[in-house]
Amino acid sequence: MKQKSIILTGGGTAGHVSLNEAIIPSLIEQGYEVHYIGSHEGIEKELIGNAFPNVPYYAISSGKLRRYFSMKNFTDPFRVLAGIAQAVSVIRRVKPKIIFSKGGFVSVPVVIAAKLTNTPVVIHESDVTPGLANKLALPFASHIFTVFKETMQHLSSDKATCTGSIIRQQLFEGSKERGLALCDFHPDKKVLLVMGGSLGSVVLNDALRENLPVLLKEYNIIHLCGKGNVDSSLDSLKGYKQFDYVTDELPDLLHAANYVVSRAGSNSIFEFLALHKPMLLIPLSAAKSRGDQILNANLFKKQGFAHVIQEEKLSKSSFMEGIQALIRDEDRMIDKMLDAESPKTPKEMVTLITQYEH
């Protein structure tokens, strides 16, 4: 009897891959042969290839759907059409029971190809409002799962379910001791973890580095600064450890941290919540995005889980004020987090997804 198979898709940023990474082990445990469709050069190719070398990866053509004028808006539709044809070929070869899409522009050709091949497809939305790729995918999907209850008002109730957050088990298996050892920190100071997403954040990096002389008197600092953003001139600073990007080490670094300063991507902030880490969020501005991180951050602020500084107001002084407020409200934030709804496990998410298979 042929092993049942599933195709996963999603990419462009780490946030469009992390849930797929989380559920792959549970899918394999339940007997599925897992396949992945992503882009040729997106971060998903590296993440999936490194974490799951035995999962077949198929790179297809995809186009970015821009809200602004660009000559590529005239050529990318042809890339999407090519991607649909390539995805159809993969689906016919693999014959999956179901396709699961985490979003990102590479997922659009896959979801359309699923409809053309009569393959059920389930999509997932982690932000408060559906992203453009998922909006385009919705008519072709059997069902959509959301993280935020507030997202449901934008969707048809007979086609959507709010699951809450899904947190990978590895996150809870991190070790404070390993994290401190990785950074060569002594446990005599509290640890501040600052991260700007997989691509980094220049404004966040600058605000932190301008304040290093003051902050290092009180805290050890872990800085995830984004690829290409390591400043080697700061390597000699005692109590300051910078990484361009981490994967397997992240659970240990999070367990070592007492406080987190971060962008406001949904996957990340729910991980901080699950580990009860008081957070200062600097969401990506509306000028650089569709504003989803602003909505995420403001909801967490309203629930008492976070303080927020809008990117336009981020400066050397506002950064320090934000850190001071975070320290001051640490106990209150942790109390609120302890009362929050528990996240779902990857195994529970797999059960929800596979109920829609052929």
- Indicate whether 155 and 205 sit together in one domain: no
Amino acid at residue number 75: T
313 beta partners: none
188 and 83 in one domain? no
Q: Can you give the pLDDT at residue 3?
A: 85
List of E strands, the chain: 5-9, 33-39, 57-60, 98-101, 121-125, 143-146, 160-162, 190-195, 219-224, 240-243, 259-262, 279-281, 306-308
Alpha carbon of 59 to those of 10, 41, 76, 89: distances in Å? 11, 8, 16, 12
Same domain, 181 and 303: yes
Beta-bridge partner residues of 122: 100, 143
126 lies in the same domain as 224: no
Say yes or no: 184 and 138 in one domain.
no
**255-258, Cβ contacts within 8 angstroms, sequence gap of 24 or more:** 255/174, 255/175, 255/176, 255/178, 255/179, 256/176, 256/178, 256/179, 256/180, 256/182, 256/183, 256/185, 256/191, 256/193, 256/222, 257/179, 257/191, 257/192, 257/193, 257/222, 258/190, 258/191, 258/192, 258/330
User: Structural domain tally of the chain?
Assistant: 2
pTM of the model: 0.86
Residues 309, 211, single domain; the answer is yes
**104 and 247 inside one domain:** no
Same domain, 76 and 19: yes
**Cα(100)–Cα(121) distance, integer angstroms:** 6
| Percent of the chain residues topping a pLDDT of 70 | 95
pLDDT (0 to 100) of residue 68: 47
In this structure, the answer to whether residues 195 and 160 fall within a common structural domain is no
Find, among 111, 63, 92, 109, the residue nearest to 5 by Cα: 92
Owning domain of residue 272: 172-338
191: left (phi over 0), alpha (psi -120 to 50) or beta: beta
Residues 49 and 161 in one domain: yes
Q: Report the CATH number that the domain containing residue 161 is assigned in CATH.
A: 3.40.50.2000
195 DSSP β-pair partners: 224, 262
Same domain, 317 and 270: yes
The parts of the chain modelled with pLDDT lower than 70 are: 1-2, 63-75, 198-200
99 and 158 together in one domain: yes
Distance CA 351, CA 23 (A): 10
